[in-house]
Amino acid sequence: MAPEPRGSWHDGMVNELFGSLFGGSGIGGVLTEAVASNGALDASNWGQIEIPTDGLKLFEKQDFLKKSTKMQAQQELLQILDAIETGKYKSAFTLATKASKKYKDLTVLKAMLAYAADRTGRSFEALTLCSELLAVRPAITDDLTLQLVSQILRFNKKPKDIITLYANATNAAPQNLEYANHYFMALVRAGDDQLFKTMQQVALKMQKTFKDSKYFFWAVTAIYLQGVSAASTGSTNIFFTLAEKMLEKAVLEKKFTNFE
């Protein structure tokens, strides 16, 4: 498998990672990602997307690590990131395995190990590590870990786990719009009509939290989809009427401010 192109993924993420570890400000990073129509990761056609972030707080709750240990961890994490970015996944797996024995509580390291494991054919081990990360409390709220885990889950076609990943992150950081967007889009990509109600609830919560009317219309769309689902099963259907009334109210309240 061809390695991912070197460049902004590495530079952005390394600066973001270590700037936040040692007191600097994050500059935002890019991570390669492409999603096929079925929601799985298409590793043969990776592009680059911008990831807004408010920093990776990897050592926030790990004051037991001495400064010298943090500096050593920095170098080791950098080596693993570099190996992943240049497609040297076997080397990344070896380095991450060795480092994980010393820094057992570093969630980002576990995510790197899982990613390297997945890219070297150890999908069972990778998914086991992802399950452990999904169970971490407080929930994961750093971008690099979330992105690595979500890519593994997409590649292995685990849409429900991606939903759990971003639901946890959103609950832990309710003011983070990026995580809320990821949560909603994970629900959409799952393609499960049983999740339309959850989509509606998430969108309405986003509208209330972030004061943007477009999320109101996301909610209306979710209600309409519930109507489509109910119509196909012959169930009692009040959803079309509800969606229509909500749109009529939106017109009266002049919520149509753009046509996104």
Q: Among 157, 172, 187, where does a domain finish?
A: 187
Q: What is the pTM of this model?
A: 0.72
Does residue 150 register a pLDDT over 90?
yes
Quick one: 138 and 182 in the same domain?
Answer: yes
* DSSP assignment string, 117-129: HHHTT-HHHHHHH
Quick one: 159 and 214 in the same domain?
Answer: no
Quick one: 228 and 255 in the same domain?
Answer: yes
- Is position 42 within any domain? yes
Q: What pLDDT does residue 23 have?
A: 35
The residues pairing with 32 across neighbouring beta strands, listed in sequence order, are 48
- Is position 212 within any domain? yes
- Is position 260 within any domain? yes
pLDDT > 70 in the chain, percent: 71
Cis peptide before 159 (omega within 30 of 0): no
Q: What pLDDT does residue 69 have?
A: 56
Q: How far apart are CA 126 and CA 260, in angstroms?
A: 38
Which helix H or strand E contains 149, and what residues bound it?
helix 143-155
Q: Which domain holds residue 239?
A: 192-260
Quick one: 165 and 208 in the same domain?
Answer: no
Q: What pLDDT does residue 236 have?
A: 75
> Residue 169: which CATH number?
1.25.40.10
Q: What residues contact 36, with CB distance under 8 A and at least 6 apart?
A: 42
Token pair recorded at residue 12? 């952005």
- Is position 142 within any domain? yes
* Tens digits of residue pLDDT in 18-55: 343 333 332 222 222 222 222 332 333 322 323 233 22
- Is position 2 within any domain? no
Quick one: 202 and 113 in the same domain?
Answer: no
Quick one: 70 and 169 in the same domain?
Answer: yes
Quick one: 50 and 155 in the same domain?
Answer: yes
Q: Among 129, 153, 187, where does a domain finish?
A: 187
Q: What pLDDT does residue 260 have?
A: 55
Quick one: 144 and 197 in the same domain?
Answer: no
Quick one: 153 and 171 in the same domain?
Answer: yes
* Tens digits of residue pLDDT in 101-145: 998 888 999 999 999 999 999 999 999 999 999 999 999 998 889
Quick one: 154 and 255 in the same domain?
Answer: no
User: How many domains does the chain fold into?
Assistant: 2
- Is position 64 within any domain? yes
Average pLDDT over residues 166-190: 96
Q: Among 137, 158, 187, where does a domain finish?
A: 187
